[in-house]
Amino acid sequence: MPLDPRHARSWLFTPADRPERYPRRDGQGADAVILDLEDAVAPADKRQARENLCRRGSDDPPVWVRINDRTSEHWRDDLAEVALLPAVTGVMLPKAERADDVAATAALLPGGMPVIALVETSLGIENAYGIASEPATFALAFGVADFRRETGLGEAPEAWAYPRTRLVIASRAAGLRGPIDGPAMQLDDVAAVRSEATRGRAGGFTGKLCIHPSQITPVNAAYSPIPEQVDWARRVLEQAARSDGAAVRVDGEMIDRPRLEHARDLLESAVAQSDAESAGT
């Protein structure tokens, strides 16, 4: 059974013009795969990439598809193909700057198909809550490379505090899962990838885009609760079940409703992720 995307930690980009890299039923890998029609595919190869997608069958593992942005000449053609494809969970819309970008995209897709809005510009950051509040929006994601290029931000953490926090707060205010962080650029430094993912989780992000399979394991590790947290959540729920709605004391801590909900969310994600890994998805 595929992992519910609400709990997906690692989101792996795979070029749509490389069908030999498409996920297989018998393979373990990222929590979610995004077949990419945008940056990973040269303009001359866009049509071939769409044709590759059309060869996928209904029995293939479910994927997301990153289409080209709304201002692109390829946007409408991408959507026309994706709307007919089997085994597609949803689409990722790059350079989302306004709620209308998501609404116009959703209007050309089968009803209810979710859209991940990839926010990559200053205007997108400023409009983050409106984008997140659009009914078709499943989650926000941070396009850090394009945002860095537009703004010229350097490596100082304080330079990134505002846009990152804005995405987190906008997502939660709109009732969405926390946003998906942009990819680490390190391909061979597992420790660096995990460190970056750990900081992202501490900052309110709930998953991370990946640009290479080597990043999957450290990202999943960083965004997974440790066993001690899972044990704590179980104890909290066990005590709460016997408290008839009253606050309970667990490990010297007073557990009220917010902490109880945190324990419930943590355990739900941990169980879903563990079950998916056990099933080999």
Tokens describing residue 58: 């209904």
Average pLDDT over residues 39-56: 94
The predicted model gives 186-214 an average pLDDT of 95
Phi first, then psi: give them for residue 119, nearest 5 degrees: -95, 120
* Together in a domain, 211 and 232: no
Residues 178 and 249 in one domain: no
Higher pLDDT, 277 or 14: 14
Give the CA angle between residues 29, 32, 34 to the nearest 5°. 110
**Tens of pLDDT, residues 244-257:** 777 788 888 888 88
> Do 156 and 263 belong to one domain?
no
How much of the chain exceeds pLDDT 70, in percent?
97
Provide the pLDDT for residue 255: 84
The model's confidence at residue 229, banded by pLDDT at 50, 70 and 90, is confident
> Of 247 and 202, which is predicted with more confidence?
202
Query: Which range is least confidently modeled, 146-150, 180-184, 238-242?
Result: 238-242
pLDDT score for 28: 63
Angstrom distance (rounded) from CA 14 to CA 32 = 11
Q: What is the pTM of this model?
A: 0.90
pLDDT of residue 281: 46
The CA distance from 261 to 241, in Å, is 13
Q: Which domain holds residue 244?
A: 227-279
Residue 202 belongs to domain with CATH number: 3.20.20.60
Nearest Cα neighbor of 164 from 195, 216, 202 is 202
In this structure, are 146 and 242 located in the same domain? Answer: no
Query: Is the model's pLDDT at 1 over the cut of 60?
Result: no
pLDDT digit string, tens, across residues 9-21: 999 999 999 999 9
Higher-pLDDT residue of 179, 250 = 179
Q: What is the pLDDT of residue 240?
A: 83
Question: What is the pLDDT at residue 27?
Answer: 60
Residue 218 shares a structural domain with residue 115: yes
In this structure, how many other beta carbons lie within 10 angstroms of the beta carbon of residue 204?
Answer: 16
- The pLDDT assigned to 40 comes to 93
Out of 76-80, 117-121, 232-236, least confident range: 232-236
Beta-bridge mates of residue 249: 254
Q: Are residues 192 and 233 in the same domain?
A: no
Domains held by the chain: number: 2
Shared-domain flag, residues 47 and 106: yes
The mean pLDDT value of the chain amounts to 92
Instruction: Look at 168 and 111; give whichever has higher pLDDT.
Output: 168
Structure confidence at residue 5 (pLDDT): 94
Q: What does the pLDDT read at residue 6?
A: 93
pLDDT-derived band of residue 280, with 50, 70 and 90 as boundaries? low
- The whole-angstrom separation of Cα 86 and Cα 78 is 14
Asked whether residue 156 falls in the same domain as residue 203, the answer is yes
Which of helix, strand or coil describes residue 253?
strand
- At 48-91, the pLDDT tens digits run 999 999 999 999 999 999 999 999 999 999 999 999 999 999 99
Distance CA 74, CA 26 (A): 32
One domain, residues 45 and 161 = yes
